[in-house]
Structure 1
Amino acid sequence: MARRKDIDGSMSVPTFYGKELRWKRERAGLSLEETVEGSFYGKSHLSDIERGERRMPLELARHVDQVLGTDGFFERCCEDVGKARRGPHAAYFQQVLEAERHAESIEEWCPSTIPGLLQLGPYARAQVRSAHPMAADDWIEEKVTARLSRASLFDANHDTPEYWAVLHESLLTDPVVPPHEMAAQLDRIAELTNRHRIVPQLVLRKSGPYPLMAASIMLMAFDDAPPLVYTEASYSGTTTDDPALVKQYRKAYDRLRAVAQAPDVSLAMIEAAVEEYRNGRQPDRLE
């Protein structure tokens, strides 16, 4: 029988329950593979939960309770773990923050703002300040720093997920920061593209009606868990793994990509906009 390891109640909630999960699993004499057998999740996902790096989905919690005979313990714990915040990110964004680090692919559609994963400091600061105009400067900087830290996903030493971003033309032609800062921001996107870290596509104003016109979404796929969809508004966000809804968003995103410009054409338009801003001019339509 496994010896119970001491659990420090001062540690983070996900870490606390992760250690409890490992102890109960080992006490039952089960491997990671045996514990997840019959679920839609892989052993790496469960291992990450035990280390406190991921939160247990409700569906997996119910499966674990059944396998380990824990009488609904982990299902009940899901609410506590779900409420636990990490850092300055919004509570509703916590699941995305964890999931994107483990994703095999990430696909975003952003009609009104450059995606957080691609933002530089000035752009991120302008976005956060516009949403919280009365906040203290140090609070704003904490939010900006947290947002910029997500970009480590594209570091050379990181196992980078396949990242696809569909952007609206207005993000290039309607600046929210001064020209030199817009040049740097768009050059960041071009640089990541030329390093083969991301693939951008642009939807032009002249495209007419297209799917997801009123939505900002992120699709995430994993090799050890079902896919997720995250939708966001100004002060709220929702993450779902409902198969029917994920499938509907998947189809809509694929149709949106068909409307967008080809990646090489989009890159050329982004680089042309960079030069316009560097010369102190605001780009006109990209047609």
Structure 2
Amino acid sequence: MVKLRDLDPSASPLDYYGSELRRLREAAGLSQSQLGSCVFVTASLIGQVETTRRVPTRDFSERVDAALGTDGLFSRLVGLVLRSQLPTWFQAYAEMEARATYISTFQAQLVYGLLQTEDYARAVLGARTDNNLDASTAARMERQRILERENAPLMWVVLSEAVLHQEIGGHAVMRDQLAHLANLSARREWARLQVLPFTVGAHAGLPGSFTLLRFENDPDLVYTEDFVQGHMTANPQALKEGSLRYDHLRAAALSVESSAALIARVMEERYGDKPEADGHRVA
């Protein structure tokens, strides 16, 4: 059993979550083992969450709410907890992304975070470090909940063809990721995706990836990243330049229909039923 320690509920969303879980569990007269049995996890995991050594998942939170009768408290808190697991410099952007009514992005190397599958996201995040990989992956997937809202933002994505060929996580992961992208426009009326083919040559996106956010009642924003942090600005000149570059990229890219066909073709030809490096076949 994890040794209890004092928590400062005001220290962070995770500390608040852990202290509330302990308080409400004890108020219900349940031990960690008893609550664990109710939500199908070990007593140790309950203890780790209560002492902030483990970041809770949304599924865990929903089951705890049901077991303790807390009227969705932990399901509401877990969003704040997971957002706090994002890099500090990225949290402001994630907040604005969640409020945007229109997102247009060009991605030169990777699938945009809102469209990544869980396995692809885990491979991307694990490329630099394995520390807190579960929490980082859960936080990235939590961002995608804005796409399930009734008023989900409209989204237009332009991907460099290089994104389709940059193998992240192995053949099976890439096949699932490309299948997710290929079906995007068919499944989501608010989302459109175009691929910028290699044959275009020099193009307006050569300086790198960027995203434009538009809002109902706030100034538009343009967002870029370097290897240290992100940069978000409402500077009119930056917005003008970003919008112009994006218009050129959309004009140069394949149509939505041709892009879906190219993604499907790469998925089959590059990541189809053939051996992985370890000799096993993937379907």
Instruction: Settle same-fold status: TM greater than 0.5.
Output: yes
What is the identity, as a one-letter code, of the residue corresponding to 1:161?
P
Q: Does 1:199 align with 2:192?
A: yes
Matches within 5 A, 1:205-220: 205-220=198-213
In structure 2, what is the equivalent of residue 280 of structure 1? 274
Q: Give 1:248 shift.
A: 1.1
1:252-273 CA distance string (max 9 Å, x none): 1111111111111101111222
Secondary structure of the structure 2 residue equivalent to 1:231: strand
Q: What is the correspondence of 1:83-94 to structure 2 with a 5 Å cutoff?
A: 86-94=83-91
Q: Distance in 2 between matches of 1:234 and 1:241?
A: 21
**Match of residue 30 from structure 1:** none
Match of 1:158 in 2: 150
Q: 1:32 aligns to what? A: none
Moved more, 140-149 or 272-281: 272-281
Partner of 2:70: none
The root-mean-square deviation of aligned C-alpha atoms, in Å, is: 2.3
Q: Secondary structure at the match of 2:84?
A: coil
Distance 1:98 1:11 in 2: 20
Taking the TM superposition and a 5 Å limit, the aligned residue runs for 1:85-124 are 86-124=83-121
CA offset at residue 89 of structure 1?
Answer: 0.8
- d(CA) in 1 for partners of 2:275, 2:222: 37
Distance in structure 2 (CA, Å) of the matches to 1:216 and 1:121: 21
Does the CA-based 8 Å contact 2:84-2:91 persist in structure 1?
no
Identify the residue that residue 128 of structure 1 maps to in structure 2.
Answer: 125
Give the equivalent residue in structure 1 for 2:6. Answer: none
Equivalent AA in structure 2 for residue 280 of structure 1? K
- What SS does the corresponding residue of 2:192 show, helix, strand or coil? strand
Structure 2 residue 254 is matched with structure 1 residue 261: yes
Instruction: Specify the alignment match of 1:238 in structure 2.
Output: 231
Q: Which residues of 2 match residues 55-66 of structure 1 at below 5 A?
A: none
- Tell me, yes or no, if the aligned pair for 1:118 and 1:151 is still in contact at 8 Å: yes
Percent identity of equivalent pairs: 30
Paired letter, 2:160: H
Q: Secondary structure at the match of 1:131?
A: coil
Identify the range of structure 1 (121-130 vs 271-280) with the bigger mean alpha-carbon deviation: 271-280
CA separation of 1:158/1:96 partners in 2, compared to 1, >3 Å: closer, same or farther? farther
> Relative to structure 1, is the Cα distance of residues 281 and 231 closer, same or farther in structure 2, using a 3 angstrom cutoff?
farther
Aligned 8 A contact 1:180 1:280 in 2: no
Retained in 1: the 8 A contact 2:109–2:166?
Answer: no
Moved over 6 A (4+): none
Give the drift of 1:113: 0.8
**Mapping of residues 160-175 of structure 1, within 5 Å:** 160-175=152-167
